[in-house]
């Protein structure tokens, strides 16, 4: 198929390749017409990027190999090629080059570079086209209007609200950070001829498979710039809100920060053996460095000449010498907390950032004119908010550990202290009784964590205890804000929480005066979410904990997860369990006189609760769950996608804060009780339908052979292992899989199954076979349509499902399915049938023929990227097939291109 042309000039080669591609792709259908300005700009960028990447292809390959790769690139660029034809050509391309896959790697570099550039440019253009303060100001106005009409204090409501994106480093960041940085740093110029050429050249040189897994410290360093963007964006948010509040009676201003940076890197110990006390301390140092950089920038260097800066104005007021002393003290404090020099540091230090602020506020500015005084005061007001939110810690690091590990740690601690030797095998009530006695004991009884006579060493326990003890050291050095939350994954019982409390008490972070860290249950599976209100009620009625909670502010945080609930029970049952469970836990908290702060553990795709914007995610929520604000995870690839530049960060954070303020103003969801019974019916049937697939004995082999799941761990995407021990005699054990690679592998293989399976069957069953004999199918259909129109929760779920259906492609998915054994093909038929049924029901509910009528802009963007995404899928299918058929030597050669194909697909539509 591919001919060698060695006597032509490079221009003739390119022209010949283009003409051949156009002649041979005649069976392809034309792309939908692009009419929107954003998609049109992206299409222009795609064409320019294609031209520049072809030059890189030519430089990196011999003339013969370049003709092959260049011809393929031209076919991909020619509108929308027919996938059957493209698949056949790519498969031959892979088969003919699998022994020496250099040309395959180059073709994948072309595809991934295109998709990385287009996806980053998309986010940049959206941020530029949407004024960053529009959503923020609308949300604030809504909150003010509601507070005014109810006679509430707007400052009081804002002071009780904390909004926090929480950065996690789950293994989904396939691309090299250096490659991502090349694109993100040049987005302003990416649409210009020179700028585009420069990005293409630099990206070509830096991208590829990550050679080594990043260390936890590497991940912290990679996120440092994103933390800095978040600091800057948070300050801008506070500034804009203060400006609006100043126009209200009494010249109001924020008394507490709204925005707080959150972090899991270094603290997420659940399944990450690479985290110990030393690693955690190093990560906290890295985050602290960002904080010191921030305050040094705001105060300014000596003899700063920047007009209007705080340092300039204070110097103007005659305080140059005092500023110099403050800078020196801040430098000493920095050296003490994050420096590499010897300790102790000579001279006095700041104990916290508020002491720094107090020094600045004590400087007399009486000789400045009125405008300069006002500017100084505004800057000090903002710096006060910064001192509370950023402090000397930079971002608040959450600790997360699995309940099973906490149980083992407590069991060993009790054995070393002369307690029961069989703690782990005690019944739940026995555990509660024992733990309660130890928590309530006010004597000087000390638990012992060193081995006693006759006990063997336990390195795992020693590492855990050292970590737990390090929390107190970090608190003492950086302040309690540095480590605020202790999260327990797989919380199922009260003893899971009591164990954490005992460990914190042992570390010196819990006593009769309160708990110095928030004890946070992570409630995730559908069964646990149903049981969540009972767990929470038992926590809040525990005598020791309730007293400690009251002393600590009487606010309880819970974390609700979208991952394992989706993996085990499907999207509809998961979404409803999270929503309903949260509402019921809100009632429990209210009955106990406690405020509830909800932390959402979302992922990057629709299957794991992600919408197309913060607005879609947050506005679909129950306003009552936002009265204390919100926290939400941003994992791996989502961090640079949402906070990778100052402009993108500002736009996303404004959307997050504005949507939270707007939704919290609406109060309790008035539709919840009205539609709860219908949702319960839908969720139960959807769960049963999903379980029929999940428990299918052919599913593990089908999944293992028809998706790139076995290559996730070879991508070196994160410090945490990509999966738990998940195989038995070569076969996959689904219950041992992590949710992220589970979801990601299905998206990679074209079906996006976890985002829709069970939904269509549940909707169809409700319409056709409802137990309500007083209504007709037509009336039940109308009810679903009404729910879509008037209930934000249901509308968001339907629209998210529609977006996932649009991203999925059953023609592509069928090609992946054929990689699996013939006896497991029934699995694909179930998936395909459910896809078609779900699509039919979703369109019926939306009353449209267009899945994306809720988001036509993104529909066009998907069209722009579709030829490239199709080509990446075709390449991956061909590579997986070749890998299955080859011997060990060729298989080893194909690992790199397979991972690169995963990079390209992830760059287009995200991973998990």
Distance CA(529)–CA(578), nearest Å, equals: 6
**Selection from 155, 147, 138 nearest residue 619 by Cα:** 138
- Determine the average pLDDT of the residues in 267-280: 92
- The residues pairing with 728 across neighbouring beta strands, listed in sequence order, are 731
Residue 769 pLDDT: 82
799-838: burial string, b at 16+ Cβ within 10 Å, e else: bbbbbbbbbbbbebbbbbbebbeeebbebbebbbebbebb
Residue 885 pLDDT: 95
pLDDT value at 22 more than 70: no
The strand pair at 518-523 and 485-489 is best described as parallel
Reduced 3-state DSSP string for 82-118: CHHHHHHHHHHHHHHHCCCCHHHHHHHHHHHHHHHHH
Locate all alpha helices (DSSP H) within 592-620, ordered by sequence: 614-619
pTM here is 0.93
pLDDT value at 720 more than 90: no
Binning pLDDT at 50, 70 and 90, where does residue 171 land? low
pLDDT value at 8 more than 50: no
- The residues pairing with 596 across neighbouring beta strands, listed in sequence order, are 556
Percent of the residues in the chain that have a pLDDT greater than 90, as a whole number: 79
Cβ of 402: how many Cβ atoms within 10 Å? 17
Cβ of 210: how many Cβ atoms within 10 Å? 20
Residue 910 pLDDT: 85
The strand pair at 514-515 and 518-523 is best described as unpaired
pLDDT value at 542 more than 80: yes
Binning pLDDT at 50, 70 and 90, where does residue 20 land? very low
- The residues pairing with 511 across neighbouring beta strands, listed in sequence order, are 514
Q: Which of the 8 DSSP states describes residue 493? A: S
Distance CA(876)–CA(873), nearest Å, equals: 5
pLDDT value at 32 more than 60: no
pLDDT tens digits, 743-786: 999 999 999 999 999 999 999 999 998 677 788 999 999 999 99
Binning pLDDT at 50, 70 and 90, where does residue 517 land? very high
Reduced 3-state DSSP string for 63-81: HHHHHHHHHHHHHHHCCCC
| 835 three-state secondary structure | helix
| 600 three-state secondary structure | strand
C-beta of residue 740 within 8 angstroms of C-beta of residue 912? yes
Binning pLDDT at 50, 70 and 90, where does residue 351 land? very high
pLDDT tens digits, 422-442: 999 999 999 999 999 999 987
pLDDT value at 507 more than 50: yes
**Selection from 88, 190, 162, 161 nearest residue 870 by Cα:** 88
Distance CA(797)–CA(134), nearest Å, equals: 25
Residue 205 pLDDT: 96
- Determine the average pLDDT of the residues in 600-611: 91
Q: Which long-range contacts (CB under 8 A, 24 or more apart) does 378-382 make?
A: 378/239, 378/242, 379/298, 379/310, 379/313, 380/310, 381/242, 381/253, 381/254, 382/235, 382/238, 382/239, 382/242
Residue 307 pLDDT: 81
pLDDT tens digits, 842-878: 999 999 999 999 999 999 999 999 999 999 999 999 9
Binning pLDDT at 50, 70 and 90, where does residue 388 land? very high
pLDDT tens digits, 72-119: 999 888 766 689 989 999 999 999 999 999 999 999 999 999 999 999
Give Dmax (Cα) for the chain. Answer: 91
Residue 106 pLDDT: 96
The strand pair at 629-635 and 555-561 is best described as unpaired
The strand pair at 731-732 and 727-728 is best described as antiparallel
Q: How many residues does the chain have?
A: 912
Indicate if the alpha-carbon torsion angle 731, 732, 734, 735 is positive or negative: positive
C-beta of residue 49 within 8 angstroms of C-beta of residue 113? yes
Residue with tokens 């003492």: 476
Residue 728 pLDDT: 46
Binning pLDDT at 50, 70 and 90, where does residue 305 land? low
| 8 three-state secondary structure | coil
pLDDT value at 402 more than 60: yes
Residue 303 pLDDT: 60
- Determine the average pLDDT of the residues in 308-332: 92
Distance CA(105)–CA(900), nearest Å, equals: 7
pLDDT value at 169 more than 50: yes
State both tokens at 819: 């990689």
The strand pair at 399-402 and 396-397 is best described as unpaired
Residue 80 pLDDT: 67
Percent of the residues in the chain that have a pLDDT greater than 70, as a whole number: 94
C-beta of residue 53 within 8 angstroms of C-beta of residue 199? no
Indicate if the alpha-carbon torsion angle 266, 269, 274, 277 is positive or negative: positive
Residue 79 pLDDT: 63
Residue 3 pLDDT: 30
**Selection from 313, 228, 237 nearest residue 656 by Cα:** 237
């Amino acid at each position: 198929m591919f001919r060698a042309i060695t006597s032509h000039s490079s221009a003739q080669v390119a022209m010949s390749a283009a003409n051949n591609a156009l002649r041979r792709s005649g069976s392809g259908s034309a792309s939908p017409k692009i009419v929107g300005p954003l998609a049109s700009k992206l299409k222009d960028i795609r064409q320019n990027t294609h031209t520049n990447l072809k030059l890189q292809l030519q430089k990196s390959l011999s003339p013969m190999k370049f003709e092959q790769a260049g011809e393929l690139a031209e076919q991909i660029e020619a509108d929308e090629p027919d996938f059957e034809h493209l698949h056949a050509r790519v498969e031959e391309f892979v088969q003919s080059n699998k022994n020496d896959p250099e040309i395959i790697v180059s073709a994948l570099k072309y595809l991934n570079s295109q998709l990385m550039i287009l996806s980053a440019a998309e986010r940049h253009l959206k941020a530029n086209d949407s004024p960053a303060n529009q959503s923020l100001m609308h949300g604030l106005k809504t909150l003010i209007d509601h507070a005014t009409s109810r006679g509430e204090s707007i400052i009081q409501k804002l002071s009780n609200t904390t909004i926090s994106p929480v950065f996690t480093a789950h293994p989904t960041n396939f691309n090299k950070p250096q490659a991502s940085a090349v694109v993100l740093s040049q987005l302003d110029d990416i649409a210009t001829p020179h700028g585009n050429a420069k990005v293409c050249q630099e990206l070509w040189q830096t991208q590829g498979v990550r050679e080594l897994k990043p260390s936890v410290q590497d991940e912290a360093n990679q996120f440092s710039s994103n933390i800095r963007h978040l600091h800057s964006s948070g300050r801008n948010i506070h500034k804009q809100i203060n400006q609006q509040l100043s126009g209200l009676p009494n010249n109001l201003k924020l008394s507490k920060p709204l925005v707080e940076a959150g972090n899991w890197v270094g603290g997420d110990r659940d399944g990450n053996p690479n985290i110990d006390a030393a690693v955690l301390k190093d990560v906290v140092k890295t985050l602290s460095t960002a904080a010191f950089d921030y305050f040094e920038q705001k105060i300014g260097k000596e003899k700063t000449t920047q007009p209007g800066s705080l340092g300039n104005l204070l110097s103007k007021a005659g305080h140059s010498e005092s500023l110099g002393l403050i800078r020196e003290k801040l430098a000493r404090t920095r050296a003490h907390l994050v420096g590499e020099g010897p300790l102790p540091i000579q001279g006095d230090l700041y104990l916290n950032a508020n002491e720094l602020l107090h020094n600045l506020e004590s400087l007399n500015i009486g000789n400045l004119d009125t405008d300069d005084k006002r500017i100084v005061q505004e800057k000090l007001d903002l710096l006060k908010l910064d001192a509370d939110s950023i402090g000397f810690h930079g971002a608040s690091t959450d600790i997360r550990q699995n309940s099973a590990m906490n149980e083992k740690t407590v069991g060993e601690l009790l054995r070393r202290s002369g307690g029961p030797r069989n703690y782990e095998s005690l019944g739940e009530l026995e555990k509660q009784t024992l733990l309660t006695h130890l928590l309530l004991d006010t004597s000087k009884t000390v638990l012992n964590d060193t081995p006693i006579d006759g006990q063997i060493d336990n390195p795992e326990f020693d590492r855990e205890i050292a970590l737990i003890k390090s929390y107190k050291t970090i608190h003492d050095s950086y302040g309690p804000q540095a480590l605020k939350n202790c999260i327990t994954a797989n919380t199922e019982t009260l003893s899971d929480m009591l164990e954490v409390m005992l460990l914190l008490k042992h570390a010196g972070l819990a006593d009769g005066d309160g708990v110095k860290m928030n004890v946070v249950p992570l409630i995730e599976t559908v069964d646990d979410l149903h049981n969540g209100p009972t767990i929470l009620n038992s926590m809040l009625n525990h005598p020791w904990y309730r007293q400690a909670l009251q002393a600590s502010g009487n606010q309880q945080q819970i974390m609700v997860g979208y991952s394992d609930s989706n993996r085990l029970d499907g999207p509809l049952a998961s979404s409803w369990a999270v929503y309903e469970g949260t509402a019921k836990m809100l009632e429990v908290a209210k009955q106990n006189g406690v405020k509830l702060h909800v932390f959402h553990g979302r992922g990057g795709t629709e299957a794991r609760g992600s919408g197309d914007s913060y607005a879609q995610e947050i506005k679909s929520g129950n306003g009552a769950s936002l009265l204390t604000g919100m926290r939400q995870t941003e994992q791996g690839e989502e961090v640079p996608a949402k906070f990778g530049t100052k402009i993108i960060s500002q736009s996303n954070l404004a959307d997050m804060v504005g949507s939270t303020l707007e939704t919290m103003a609406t109060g309790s969801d008035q539709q919840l009780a009205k539609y709860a019974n219908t949702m319960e019916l839908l969720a139960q049937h959807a769960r049963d339908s999903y379980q029929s697939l999940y428990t299918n004995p052919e599913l593990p082999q089908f999944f293992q052979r028809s998706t790139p799941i076995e290559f996730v761990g070879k991508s070196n995407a994160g410090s945490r292992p990509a999966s738990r021990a998940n195989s038995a005699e070569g076969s996959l054990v689904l219950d041992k899989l992590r949710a992220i690679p589970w979801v990601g592998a299905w998206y990679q293989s074209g079906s996006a199954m976890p985002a829709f399976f069970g939904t269509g069957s549940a909707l169809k069953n409700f319409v056709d076979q409802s137990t309500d004999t007083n209504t007709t199918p037509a009336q039940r259909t109308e009810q679903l349509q009404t729910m879509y129109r008037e209930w934000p929760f249901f509308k968001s779920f339907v629209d998210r499902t529609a977006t996932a259906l649009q991203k999925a492609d059953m023609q592509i998915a069928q090609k992946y399915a054929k990689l699996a054994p013939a006896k497991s093909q029934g699995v694909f038929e179930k998936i395909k049938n459910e896809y078609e049924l779900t699509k039919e029901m979703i369109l019926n509910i939306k009353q449209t023929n267009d899945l994306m009528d809720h988001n036509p802009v993104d529909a066009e963007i998907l069209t722009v990227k579709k030829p490239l995404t199709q080509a990446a899928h075709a390449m991956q299918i061909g590579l997986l097939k070749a890998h299955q058929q080859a011997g060990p030597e060729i298989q080893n050669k194909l690992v790199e291109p397979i991972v690169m194909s995963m990079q390209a697909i992830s760059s287009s539509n995200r991973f998990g």
